[in-house]
Amino acid sequence: MRQKLGQHFLINKSAIQKIVAALNLQPNDTVIEIGPGKGSLTLPLIKICREINCQLIAVEKDPTLAKELGENIQITNHKLQIIEGDALKVLSGIIPNSLFKIQKYKVVGNIPYYITGKLLRVLSELENKPELTILMIQREVAERVCAQQPKMNLLAAAVQFWANPAMLFTLQPSDFSPPPQVESAVIKLALRTAANSSQPDNYYRLIRAVYKQPRKTLFNNLRSGLEIRENELKTALKTLKIDPESRPQNLSLAQLELLTNLLFVSLGKKEL
C-alpha cells in the first residue's frame, strides 16, 4: 500500500452506492474515474455501464493497482479502459489519449486528498468541462468549496465561477481502509449553465486580489492587489452598492462578477 498516493480504499457499501447513484448515468454517457484503486467504485460502475451502454475510463497512477484492476475486470470492449497514468495530466491533455475525442462527460473519484486543489484547478481550466463531477474530498475542503456569503473564500469563488457545488454526504475515517486522519465528504459539482458574465482571466485575477488577505477590507485588498486608483475604486464600489469596508467573505458570487466587469471592462483595466 502506497500512503504516498493517498491510498485509502472506500469500504462503506452504502456510500459506494450513493456515489454511483449521484452520477445519474444515462445511456451513452462517458464517465472518467480518477484513481480507481482496487475498484470499490469501478466495479459497480462497470456493472451499470454494461447494462445501459456507457463508456468508463479509469485513470490510476499506481502501476501495480492499474495492472491488477485491468486483470480483474476482464475488459471486453473498447467502452471500458483502464489508463495507467496521472489523472491530472490525462485530464489536462498533457498525455494524449482518447479523452480528446470526448464531447460530453462526467467525472467521479474518491481522490487522494492532496491533489484536490490541483484537480479543481485543472477542471476549471478545461475548455470542455465535465457536465457533472462527483468527488470524495476532505470534509473541511468540501465545506470551503460549497461556502456562500458570509463565508465566501477564494476556493469557493474559484469553483463557483464554473460549477454549482453541493455537499452530498459526509464520511468517517472508519469508512476507509486504512482510515485517513481526516473526515471526508462527497461533493457534487454541476456545470453552471447560466453564462458567466465575466471573462475568466479577469475574474480569477480579481478574486486572487480580493481574498489575498481575507481579514483586510475589500477596499484595501483591491487597491493593493489591482493597483487601482483610490477614487476609481471608491466610485466603482459605490456604483455596485458594495461597502468598501466590508470583508471579502461577505461578497456574493454575483457581486464578484459585477465587480470584475466594472473594474476590468468599464474602467478598461485589462492588462493587470
Nearer to ligand SAM by Cβ, of 36 and 165: the residue is 36
Q: Which burial class, exposed, middle or buried, applies to 69 when counting CB atoms under 10 A from its CB (0-12, 13-18, 19+)?
A: buried
Minimum CB distance to ligand SAM, residue 136 (Å): 7
134 sits near ligand SAM (criterion: CB under 6 A): no
Residues 6 or more apart in contact with residue 270 via CB below 8 angstroms: 202, 264
Based on C-alpha coordinates, what's the Rg of the chain? 21
* Choices 5-13, 94-102, 240-248, 262-270 (CB under 6 A): range interacting with ligand SAM: 5-13
Q: Which three cell numbers stand for residue 155?
A: 476556493
Nearer to ligand SAM by Cβ, of 57 and 262: the residue is 57
Nearer to ligand SAM by Cβ, of 65 and 237: the residue is 65
257 sits near ligand SAM (criterion: CB under 6 A): no
20 sits near ligand SAM (criterion: CB under 6 A): no
Q: How far is C-alpha 188 from the chain's CA centre?
A: 9
Minimum CB distance to ligand SAM, residue 175 (Å): 10
* Coil vs helix vs strand at 154: helix
Work out which of 22, 65, 141, 253 binds ligand SAM, going by CB under 6 A. 65
d(CA 47, CA 163) in angstroms, rounded, equals 28
d(CA 22, CA 41) in angstroms, rounded, equals 12
Grid cell 480569477 is found at 204
88 sits near ligand SAM (criterion: CB under 6 A): yes
* Choices 105-113, 127-135, 208-216, 234-242 (CB under 6 A): range interacting with ligand SAM: 105-113
86 sits near ligand SAM (criterion: CB under 6 A): yes
Minimum CB distance to ligand SAM, residue 180 (Å): 8
d(CA 14, CA 146) in angstroms, rounded, equals 23
Site string for ligand SAM, 35-64 (x = CB under 6 A): xxxx-xx-----------------xxxx--
Residues 6 or more apart in contact with residue 254 via CB below 8 angstroms: none
Helix and strand numbers (H, E) in the chain are: 11, 9
Nearer to ligand SAM by Cβ, of 66 and 155: the residue is 66
Which residues would be at the binding site for ligand SAM (CB under 6 A)?
Answer: 5-10, 34-38, 40-41, 59-62, 65, 86-88, 110-112, 115
